Structure 1
Amino acid sequence: MSSLSSKWRAGNGPSIGMVLALLLVLVVHGALFWPGILTWDAIRQYGQALSGHYDDWHPPAMNWLWRQLRTFGAGPAPMLLLQLGLYWCGTLLWLRAAGRGRPRAALAIAVLAVSPVALVLMGTVLKDSLFAGALLLASGLIATARAGERWRRIVAAIVLVAAATLRFNAVPACLPLLVLAAPAAWRRTLPRLAMTSVLAAIPLALALPLANAALHSTRSGVELSLVIYDLGGIGRFSGTNVFPATGVADPVAVNADCYTPVSWDRYAWWGAEPCAIGFTNLRAPLKAGHGPYAWWGAAVLAHPLAYAEHRLAHFNSNTRFLVHDADLPRLSLASDPNTWGFTLAPNAARDAVAAAAQAVLQTPFGWPVCWLALGVGLLVLRPAVRTLDPAAAMAWSAVLYGFSYLPLSVASEVRYHLWTIAAVGIAAALTLPRADVRALPRWRWALAGVPLAVVALSGVVARVS
C-alpha cells in the first residue's frame, strides 16, 4: 500500500466532536424525512416483509431484513434509520480518512454528503440508497484501516458481500472495494491482481442467487423486463417485429407507439396506458421453446445496429445526457398512497431541500453522465491498478458500476447513480489536491478533462436547443 494510504490511516479514531456532529446530522436528516419516503417499489417490499413471503422482483434479502427490523417499529422508519446510519457513519470514516492535513478534501467530502440530491435519496427507502450507504461504510472502513488491522477489512468484506444481495449489477461496484480489502501483497503484480479479482468476484456473484434461494423466493419473471425492453427497442429502431406472436394486429406500429428510451414502463402491467404488447401477454411465449434469452440473442444477432441504437438512446436518458429535463422522471418527494397510511408530515425545511434537489438535477452537478466523465478523468490521472489506493478504488467502483447500466438498465432515474456520484466525488476530493497528481504533465490533465468538458457542454447545448 502506498505511503499516502498510510497517511490516510494515521490517527483514524473518530473524535468525540466528530461523533457528536455525526449524531446531530443524522437526527436532523432523519427528522426532515421522517418516517421515510415510501415509493411504489418500497410499498411492495414492505408488504412482503410483513407477510414473510418473497418474490425476486425486488431483493428478497432487503425484504427479509425489513421484516427483522419490525422489532424496532412498524413502517419505513427502521429502514430509514439504517440507511442514514450507514451513510453518515461511512461519511464520518471518509472525513477521517481525508486526514487533518487535507482540510480542503474533508470540506469537499462534507459538502458532497449534504448535497440536496443525496439528502432526498437517502431520505427515501430504496435498495439503491441502502446499497450506497453500505458501500460508503465498507469503503470508509477500508480507507481508515491501519496496516495489519484486519477487523475493519473483514467487516468491510462482509458488508460488501451483503450489499451484493441488493442489486443484480452490484459486482462491478463491489469488486474494486473487495479487492482493496485484500492484503496488499495479493495485488502487488498484475497476475496476482487478476487472480485476486477473480476470487473476489465469486462470492459477490453468488450472493444474490444464494440469498434468494435461502429465502425461498418465488420467480417473478423480473429478468423478462430487460428482455422485453430490448426486444421493443430493437423493433423500434429496426422497423420490424422481433416479439413472439401475441395476436396483436400490426405489432410494429403498436411497439413504435409504446417504446420510449426513458424506460420500459409501458411494457409493464402498471401505469395508465400499458402497451398491448407487454409483460402480461409476452411472459408465456417468451418462456416457451428455448426461452427468453434465445429470443433476445436471435434479435440482437439479426439487428445489432438497432440494438446498439436502443441501448445508447436509453443510456443517454439514464445518465441525463442529451435530454430535456422535463422528459425525465423527477425525484420522489412524498410517499405514494399505501394501505398503512405512512406519509410525511408537512415540513418547510424539507420542501426547501427538495426544491434545491430538483434545481440541482437541471445542472451538470445533477447529471450522472458528468460524474461518470469525471470518474474517467480521475482514472486517466491516476489509475493505480496495482496499488489500488482508496481514491483509485472508489473511481474504479463508480465508473464500472455506472457503465454497467449501458447494457443492463430499463429505467432512467437518478437513484441508480447515487453510488457513482458519491464515489466519484470522494475520489475527486482525495485525488485532485495531491502534489504528485498536480505535477503531472499538462497533456495528461487536458486528456483527463476532455470527457467532462465535452459532456457538460453537450448537455447544456441539448437542453437549450
Structure 2
Amino acid sequence: MLSQPYQKEFRRAPAVLTAGVLVGGFVFSMAMTLPGELSYDSVIQLLEGRTAAYSGWHPPVMSWLLGLADAAWPGAALFVLANAAMMLVSMLSLLRLSPYTSWAAPVVALGCILLPQFAIYQGIVWKDVLFANAAIAGFIALAQAAVRWPELLWRVALLATALVLLIIAALARQNGPIMLVAAAVSFAWISRDQGAAATRALQAGGAALLIALSVFGAASALLHMRTLPARGAAKQLRVLEAYDLVGALTLDPGLQLPELRRSDPSLLDAMRSARSYYSPVRSDTLARAQTLQSALIHAPDDVLHGPWRGLVLHHTGLYLRERAAVFQWVFLTPDLSRCVPYVVGLRGPAPALRALGMQERVDSRDEFASSYGTRLIGTPVFSHPIYLTLALLEFAFLLYRRRIADGVLACLLAGGMAVTASFLFVSIACDYRYLYFLDMAALIGLFYIAGDPRLTDGAARTRKTWAVPEVA
C-alpha cells in the first residue's frame, strides 16, 4: 500500500503534469509566432495605436491596447505575449476549481495545445483572438469568485478582474456586448448558489448587467474621443446594408425598393448593376463594382437605413434567405481556402509599414507555422459544427452536474453559441476567425470537464476547500 505522503503526491501529479503541458504549449506557440503574425488589419490597428488616432473601422480598443504595448516595446510582440499569457494563466487557474484533477486533464491539454487554435492563433494579432481570450478569462475569473465567495477580498478582486476582462471583450467586437448579458446570467446563478432567493438572484444579475453596461458605455465614449470623424461605425453599417440589399436583388431581381427609388434612383440602379459581383462568401467582391462604389461615396451615410429596414420588415423571408446563404459560409466554411483559416508572417499596406518602420516578413518560422496549419485543413480541427456539437454536449453536462462553477462555464458556452448565432445577421465574410470564440469556448469547456469529470463528489468538496473557517 502507498504511504500517505506518496498518495498525496500521486494525486497532485495530474495537475502538475497538466500545468507543464500548458506551459510547454505556450512556449511552443510563442516560439513559432513571435513577434506576432500580422495581417493588413493588424498593421493598420498597430499604426492607429502608435498615433492614438483611430479610424473606427474596427473597435478602437484593439488599437488602444496595441498602442500601449508598442509604447513599451515597439511592435506587436508584447501584445501577443500578454494576450497569450492571459489564456495560459486562465487555463492554469481552472486546475484550482476542484481539489481533484483527473489523468484526462493532461491528455486533453496536450490535444488543445497542438491545435492551430492554440499553436497558431494565439500568436495572431486579431481582435477575434483578443475577444476570445478576454471573454474566456473573464468567465474563469467569475468561476474563481464563485468558489471563493466567502473570502471577501478574493471575491472583490476576482469580480473586479472579471469586469475589466469582460469589458475589454465587449469592446473588442461589435457583437461583444452579448457576453455581458451572459455574464449577468452567470452572476445571477452565483447569487442563487450562495443562497439568495430567485427574485434576489435575478435582481443581482440585473444590477450586474447595468453596472457592466455603464462601464462599457463610458469606456466606449472615451475611446471614441480619439476616433476620426466621418469614419467607422456608420461606414461599417452601410457596408452591411449595401451587401444585404444587393444580395436580395440578386436572389429576387424583381424586388422593388420604393424608398431608395425615391431618394436615390441612381444608387438603386448601381445596386442592380452590381448583382454580378455579389457573392455570399464575402462582401469584398462588391468593391470591384465601380459604379456602385462611386454612388456610395457620393451618398450620405444614412441613405440605406430606410431601404434596408424595409427589406427586413416587408420582405423578411427574402432577407433571411440572403442572410442564411452568408451564414452558411461563415459557419460551415464549405471551401476553407476561401475563408482565411489563419495568417502567418507580416503583411500590410506599404505606407503603414513605412510609418511603423517595418517590412513585410515571411521567415522560416512563419513557413513552419503555415505548413503546420495546412496539414490540418480539411480535418475536423477546422470545423465550427464540430465545436458547436461539443459545446452543446458540455452545456448539457454542466447543467446536469450543477457544481458551483459549472453554471459559470455553462454561461460561457451559451454566450459563445449566442455570439455565433448573431453572425446570422452581421456576417459579411466567411473568415474562419469570426467564430474562433466558439471553438475556444468548446475547448475550454472540454478542458474544464476533463479536469474533474465526476458527476458527484466534487461540489461539496469544492465548497469546503474554499470556505472560511468558522470562528467559535
Q: The TM-score by the shorter chain falls in which range?
A: 0.7 to 0.9
2:364 corresponds in structure 1 to: 347
The alignment status of 1:400 with 2:418, answered yes or no, reads yes
* Counterpart contact for 1:76–1:125, Cα < 8 Å: yes
Deviation at 1:104, TM superposition (A): 0.9
In structure 2, relative to structure 1, the CA distance for the partners of 1:21 and 1:35 (3 Å cut) is: same
Which one of 147, 166, 172 corresponds to residue 172 of structure 2?
166
* Counterpart contact for 2:188–2:205, Cα < 8 Å: no
Mapping of 1:41-440 within 5 angstroms?
Answer: 41-97=41-97, 100-145=100-145, 146-148=148-150, 149-150=154-155, 151-181=157-187, 184-186=190-192, 191-205=199-213, 209-215=217-223, 216=225, 217-218=227-228, 219-220=231-232, 221-239=235-253, 240=255, 242=257, 245=264, 247=266, 251=270, 253-268=272-287, 273-274=288-289, 276-278=291-293, 281-282=295-296, 285=299, 287=301, 292-320=304-332, 323-337=334-348, 338-339=353-354, 340-344=357-361, 346-348=363-365, 350-383=366-399, 389-431=407-449, 434-436=453-455
The secondary structure found in structure 2 opposite 1:136 is helix
In structure 2, relative to structure 1, the CA distance for the partners of 1:378 and 1:18 (3 Å cut) is: closer
* Counterpart contact for 1:241–1:251, Cα < 8 Å: no
* Counterpart contact for 1:166–1:208, Cα < 8 Å: no
* Counterpart contact for 2:345–2:363, Cα < 8 Å: no
Deviation at 1:106, TM superposition (A): 4.7
* Counterpart contact for 1:172–1:401, Cα < 8 Å: yes
Output one character per residue of 1:137-162: Cα deviation in whole Å (capped at 9) or x when no partner.
22333333423231223211221122
Question: Matches of 1:53 and 1:162 in 2, distance apart?
Answer: 19
* Counterpart contact for 1:45–1:63, Cα < 8 Å: yes
Tell me the TM-score normalised to structure 1 length: 0.78
Deviation at 1:42, TM superposition (A): 1.2
Q: Which moved more, 1:373-382 or 1:301-310?
A: 373-382
Question: Matches of 2:101 and 2:23 in 1, distance apart?
Answer: 24
* Counterpart contact for 1:170–1:401, Cα < 8 Å: yes
Question: Matches of 1:134 and 1:416 in 2, distance apart?
Answer: 15
Question: Matches of 2:96 and 2:158 in 1, distance apart?
Answer: 14
For 2:306, the aligned partner's letter is A
Deviation at 1:309, TM superposition (A): 0.8
Question: Matches of 2:376 and 2:369 in 1, distance apart?
Answer: 10
In structure 2, relative to structure 1, the CA distance for the partners of 1:241 and 1:33 (3 Å cut) is: farther
* Counterpart contact for 1:117–1:357, Cα < 8 Å: no
Q: Which has the higher contact order (CA 8 A, sep 6+)?
A: 2
Structure 2: 5+ residue runs without aligned partners? 1-10, 457-472
Deviation at 1:428, TM superposition (A): 3.4
Question: Matches of 2:208 and 2:291 in 1, distance apart?
Answer: 44
CA RMSD between the two structures: 3.4
The secondary structure found in structure 2 opposite 1:301 is helix
Q: Which moved more, 1:232-241 or 1:411-420?
A: 232-241
Identity %: 20
Deviation at 1:31, TM superposition (A): 2.5
The secondary structure found in structure 1 opposite 2:79 is helix
* Counterpart contact for 2:188–2:202, Cα < 8 Å: no
Q: Which moved more, 1:404-413 or 1:216-225?
A: 216-225
Question: Matches of 2:339 and 2:70 in 1, distance apart?
Answer: 35
For 1:59, the aligned partner's letter is P
In structure 2, relative to structure 1, the CA distance for the partners of 1:275 and 1:82 (3 Å cut) is: farther
